Chains A and B, each alone.
Chain A
């Protein structure tokens, strides 16, 4: 993405995305979502509404932007409502980083495939990140809790039925790993 004009001041943003140090120089008004997508080429994070409602742009952040999250790692945020410059020094996980270290599908991703939790796939990255964070907080949710956990994200294809099932399946896969 080219910049508005030569006159607009630019700022260097250094952060770690999916374990890899990255940096880019951007105008102050560059949204974190656009920064990830266009400046860093990580197009898995999608923007569906640009006003923080749909959740497709959800990424997980550790260590910047808010003072009250000491010790909280992988907090889900709406990257379309944040400026990239606020995340200088942060660690961010996007959907691309939700795979296993060897690149195979991670437990949440695998659960979505097992349960047909996605159709067009556009909202999916935001669900995968949201659920990844949620299962850290609550490793064995009830169906009702699973439904509640995803109720900040919009999906127009699935009617959420199989996404709820995917949350439960992901919890199962994760606990098998821990147990096994």
Chain B
């Protein structure tokens, strides 16, 4: 199949609007003229024209009168005592307004954690705004220079002299937990900042009786989120109002407001945060960063607006990295390849400090998801968070999920290799059967729905599995090695229901939507989620149009501004459609209820006899006794009679949704690679992603999410890697050293779909934002190892660069 987006019959089924509409809870209309339904349709995006004409409103586009520019002085060594900071020369640079170091930050509190790891028994190191006494990673903010122009701020930062007394540094997790390793933080002699175990069933018994075992040490290396729009922030403080306005490129504007309140001891009602248009995030724009806290502090201290935009090289140092685990895992299985248990340990490199949300990645996602798509019921895996002299890690597209999938899917292929079985067949023998949902994992999750074997079969059909295997057996004329890789996945989405939040050290993260109905019947909806490329202005309007049964063009969706959006937790964790989308649905249902009540009054009918039809409400079956939605909106705002006691004018409504459980998207990614043994170059010659995200709201947008995620996942497998030298100096801080793939390096991708509606929300939707990045990396890894195994290569870590692959082939 050569179509860019190959479609299966299953997808056509799901995309049919009449089968994919939301359950609105509204009574069935008796008769209406072929209603237009939007959920399930490939509606073109509302947000596109402004981006396409250069009218997006990104952080750097904004300037305030009288603003000064911030430039950070960052640690140039990975671990050292600061013996002196001389700012005199910097202060004399023309245009420099101020220089702040830790000593100037009176009254500034540490940045609080929003994910609490298990108590290590001693206080966790405080996350401070500027380094005090010791620096622990290259890039740690030491001082900030404020100046009249960005050039003067840069010149000023260049002139700040920081003297260091170097300390030994450690960058790799296995080195950091060694007995003789340098220690980063007092009280953490072994550099372990938390330990937690996932135990269920009887792993010890299963291993004691198992006829087979396979064990692998697997490195899931460090990568950079590489967001096209770097981080940035403008803060302006009004001393008379004692209020702060903040513009910041973030996934979580309400959380940012809370953080600033905490750090600067300011009341939140005097802080306004606006995310504007956010140029990508992938998890990197979630936490409050120390440099952002410094910008807020400087704005208050100077009484002038402060603007800061991260430079690209700075971004490679200062923005959180992702992944960076070393896993040592083993599975027990029988002669048929049926797995009974998993055990082992995963070391997670947390970097020099725990950032506010970063422990949730490995604790809340990697550990619980280790059983993946499989029915084994015993597990005993320890997860250890480790401090090292590196940039702090945090969530990166998938945020702990891709790591879990990588380990388990690699091991499944090792089981198959050990027994000489087909890896697809080993998966079938271990899958949770489609009839067994809800399914309890030994790690405490309850999977909602899925049909893993169906997705696998679609993937196999799409890549012509038997044909490729035959080609592989027969060999190629030019000696190229062919490999086929499969990876199934299950992922947590819709984070984080209050019912399960404690498991990941988080409060419950519900979502909100507020509907404003204007006298014209046109509608604005404000959201607590905060999209940054996911098409929320379109997909949420699709849900609203179907529920309100008004034209799609009559609806706008807004988010990202704490002044105009209701409190919410933002966009991350594949949550916006499942949690925020349902809040939209619920809020619109409330509007419909109000509209029906008012229609009954105005039409002098019983409320039970009022039905919703397209654009209007009418007495059931009596189209002549009908009131248009716009007239209802107008008449309930421009009242011609007094309000009864307890009655509210208008049709506005706000609703919240706290789902009963996570959603669990699933699927199988399959690919074919060709390896050139002479150069070690790996080429992905075919790739298909079969994803089950439940109900699809907009197939165009859903495919786009998969494409982007898959490209990132393949890229981790083949190209990207953050590298430090032995002293903790970053070696990959520009696009000349760190490979972000271009179109030429990204293969053609095909998508197909399986559909298992989620029972945990009324739309039936699951997350899709991270799926692509989860299945793709192990699919490529398994394909590469499948190609190399006949040449004697039994194990290899990513990224599969030509150099690594070639070297492995030489050793054979």
Tell me whether B48 and A118 are in contact (CB under 8 A). yes
Tell me whether B735 and A4 are in contact (CB under 8 A). no
Tell me whether B742 and A151 are in contact (CB under 8 A). yes
* A7, A121, A154, A158: residue with the most chain B Cβ atoms closer than 10 Å: A121
Knowing A112-B52, A147-B743 are in contact, say whether A4-B149 is a contact too (CB < 8 A): yes
Tell me whether A155 and B54 are in contact (CB under 8 A). no
Tell me whether B229 and A48 are in contact (CB under 8 A). yes
Q: Tell me the nearest residue of chain B to A43, going by C-beta.
A: B61
A47 at the interface (CB under 8 A from B): yes
Interface residues of B (CB under 8 A from A): 4-5, 44-45, 47-56, 58, 60-61, 63, 94-95, 148-152, 155, 226-230, 277-280, 282, 311-313, 532-535, 700-701, 703-704, 707-712, 734-736, 740, 742-746, 748-749, 772
Tell me whether B53 and A156 are in contact (CB under 8 A). no
- Chain B nearest CB, measured from A113 CB (Å): 4
- Chain A nearest CB, measured from B72 CB (Å): 16
Distance, CA A37 to CA B309, complexed state (A): 14
- New A-B contacts (19) at CB < 8 Å, excluding given A44-B53, A46-B228: A2-B148, A3-B149, A4-B155, A46-B229, A48-B228, A48-B312, A51-B736, A95-B53, A109-B52, A109-B53, A121-B277, A122-B56, A123-B279, A128-B52, A148-B744, A158-B707, A160-B707, A162-B4, A162-B704
- Chain A nearest CB, measured from B626 CB (Å): 36
Distance, CA A48 to CA B316, complexed state (A): 13
Interface bracket on A: 35 or more
Q: Tell me the nearest residue of chain B to A1, going by C-beta.
A: B149
Measured between beta carbons, the chain B residues less than 8 angstroms from A7 are 94
Knowing A51-B736, A116-B704, A161-B748 are in contact, say whether A99-B58 is a contact too (CB < 8 A): no
Tell me whether A159 and B710 are in contact (CB under 8 A). yes
Please name 25 pairs of A and B residues whose Cβ atoms are closer than 8 Å in the assembled complex, sorted by A: A1-B149, A5-B95, A44-B53, A54-B228, A109-B53, A113-B52, A114-B44, A116-B44, A118-B51, A119-B533, A120-B280, A121-B56, A122-B228, A125-B54, A128-B52, A150-B742, A151-B744, A154-B740, A156-B282, A158-B707, A159-B711, A160-B746, A161-B707, A162-B4, A162-B704
Q: Tell me the nearest residue of chain B to A18, going by C-beta.
A: B54
Tell me whether B743 and A160 are in contact (CB under 8 A). yes
Distance, CA A47 to CA B534, complexed state (A): 22
Tell me whether B749 and A121 are in contact (CB under 8 A). no
Could you give, for residues 38-60 of chain A, a 1 whenever the CB lies within 8 Å of some chain B CB and a 0 otherwise?
Answer: 10001111111111011010000
- Chain A nearest CB, measured from B753 CB (Å): 15
A164 at the interface (CB under 8 A from B): yes
Contacts of A1-39 to chain B: CB distance below 8 A: 1-7, 27, 29, 37-38
Distance, CA A4 to CA B94, complexed state (A): 7
A153 at the interface (CB under 8 A from B): yes
Could you give, for residues 100-141 of chain A, a 1 whenever the CB lies within 8 Å of some chain B CB and a 0 otherwise?
Answer: 000001000100111010111111110010000000000000
A62 at the interface (CB under 8 A from B): no
- Chain A nearest CB, measured from B769 CB (Å): 10
Tell me whether B44 and A156 are in contact (CB under 8 A). no
Tell me whether A159 and B708 are in contact (CB under 8 A). yes
- Chain A nearest CB, measured from B232 CB (Å): 11
Distance, CA A94 to CA B53, complexed state (A): 9
Checking A51, A54, A56, A150 against B743 with a beta-carbon cut-off of 8 angstroms, the contacting residue is A150
Distance, CA A116 to CA B48, complexed state (A): 9
Measured between beta carbons, the chain B residues less than 8 angstroms from A171 are none
Measured between beta carbons, the chain A residues less than 8 angstroms from B94 are 4-7
Distance, CA A163 to CA B60, complexed state (A): 25
- Chain A nearest CB, measured from B89 CB (Å): 15
Q: Tell me the nearest residue of chain A to B748, going by C-beta.
A: A161
Tell me whether B228 and A156 are in contact (CB under 8 A). yes
Distance, CA A54 to CA B60, complexed state (A): 17
Measured between beta carbons, the chain B residues less than 8 angstroms from A162 are 4, 703-704, 707
- Chain B nearest CB, measured from A159 CB (Å): 3
Measured between beta carbons, the chain A residues less than 8 angstroms from B700 are 116
Measured between beta carbons, the chain B residues less than 8 angstroms from A6 are 94
Tell me whether B53 and A105 are in contact (CB under 8 A). yes
- Chain A nearest CB, measured from B439 CB (Å): 31
Measured between beta carbons, the chain B residues less than 8 angstroms from A163 are 743
Tell me whether B58 and A161 are in contact (CB under 8 A). no
* B94, B534, B708: residue with the most chain A Cβ atoms closer than 10 Å: B708
- Chain B nearest CB, measured from A165 CB (Å): 6
Measured between beta carbons, the chain A residues less than 8 angstroms from B744 are 147-148, 151
- Chain B nearest CB, measured from A55 CB (Å): 9
Tell me whether A5 and B743 are in contact (CB under 8 A). no
Tell me whether A96 and B54 are in contact (CB under 8 A). yes
Distance, CA A158 to CA B4, complexed state (A): 13
How many residue pairs link A and B with beta carbons under 8 A? The number is 190
Distance, CA A44 to CA B44, complexed state (A): 21
Measured between beta carbons, the chain A residues less than 8 angstroms from B53 are 44, 95-96, 98-99, 105, 109
- Chain A nearest CB, measured from B750 CB (Å): 9
Tell me whether B535 and A165 are in contact (CB under 8 A). no
- Chain B nearest CB, measured from A103 CB (Å): 8
- Chain B nearest CB, measured from A112 CB (Å): 6
- Chain A nearest CB, measured from B40 CB (Å): 16
Knowing A113-B49, A156-B228, A159-B710 are in contact, say whether A120-B279 is a contact too (CB < 8 A): yes
Checking A27, A38, A120, A161 against B5 with a beta-carbon cut-off of 8 angstroms, the contacting residue is A161
Measured between beta carbons, the chain A residues less than 8 angstroms from B48 are 112-113, 118, 121
Tell me whether A122 and B229 are in contact (CB under 8 A). yes
A86 at the interface (CB under 8 A from B): no
* A1, A42, A98, A163: residue with the most chain B Cβ atoms closer than 10 Å: A1
Measured between beta carbons, the chain B residues less than 8 angstroms from A154 are 228, 735, 740, 742
Tell me whether A119 and B534 are in contact (CB under 8 A). yes
Q: Which 5 A-B pairs have the closest CB atoms?
A: A44-B54, A121-B51, A122-B279, A159-B711, A120-B533
Distance, CA A99 to CA B53, complexed state (A): 7
Q: Tell me the nearest residue of chain A to B745, going by C-beta.
A: A151
Checking A56, A116, A147 against B228 with a beta-carbon cut-off of 8 angstroms, the contacting residue is A56
Measured between beta carbons, the chain A residues less than 8 angstroms from B746 are 159-160
Measured between beta carbons, the chain A residues less than 8 angstroms from B5 are 161
Measured between beta carbons, the chain B residues less than 8 angstroms from A38 are 63
Tell me whether B533 and A121 are in contact (CB under 8 A). yes
Distance, CA A159 to CA B54, complexed state (A): 21
Distance, CA A158 to CA B701, complexed state (A): 10
Measured between beta carbons, the chain B residues less than 8 angstroms from A53 are 734-736
Distance, CA A125 to CA B311, complexed state (A): 19
Measured between beta carbons, the chain A residues less than 8 angstroms from B532 are 120
- Chain B nearest CB, measured from A32 CB (Å): 15
Distance, CA A67 to CA B49, complexed state (A): 36
Measured between beta carbons, the chain A residues less than 8 angstroms from B44 are 113-114, 116
* A46, A50, A94, A122: residue with the most chain B Cβ atoms closer than 10 Å: A122
Tell me whether A155 and B61 are in contact (CB under 8 A). no
Distance, CA A50 to CA B150, complexed state (A): 14
Tell me whether B47 and A121 are in contact (CB under 8 A). yes
Distance, CA A112 to CA B53, complexed state (A): 11
Tell me whether A158 and B704 are in contact (CB under 8 A). yes
Measured between beta carbons, the chain A residues less than 8 angstroms from B155 are 4
Checking B4, B535, B734, B736 against A119 with a beta-carbon cut-off of 8 angstroms, the contacting residue is B535
Distance, CA A96 to CA B228, complexed state (A): 20
- Chain B nearest CB, measured from A150 CB (Å): 5
Tell me whether A4 and B95 are in contact (CB under 8 A). yes
- Chain B nearest CB, measured from A54 CB (Å): 7
Distance, CA A53 to CA B700, complexed state (A): 29
Checking A46, A51, A98, A119 against B58 with a beta-carbon cut-off of 8 angstroms, the contacting residue is A46
* A45, A113, A148: residue with the most chain B Cβ atoms closer than 10 Å: A113
Tell me whether A121 and B742 are in contact (CB under 8 A). no
Distance, CA A21 to CA B735, complexed state (A): 35
Checking B313, B701, B734 against A116 with a beta-carbon cut-off of 8 angstroms, the contacting residue is B701
Distance, CA A173 to CA B214, complexed state (A): 56
Distance, CA A102 to CA B151, complexed state (A): 39
Tell me whether A157 and B54 are in contact (CB under 8 A). no
Could you give, for residues 63-92 of chain A, a 1 whenever the CB lies within 8 Å of some chain B CB and a 0 otherwise?
Answer: 000000000000000000000000000000
Tell me whether A50 and B312 are in contact (CB under 8 A). yes
Tell me whether A5 and B152 are in contact (CB under 8 A). yes
Distance, CA A116 to CA B710, complexed state (A): 16
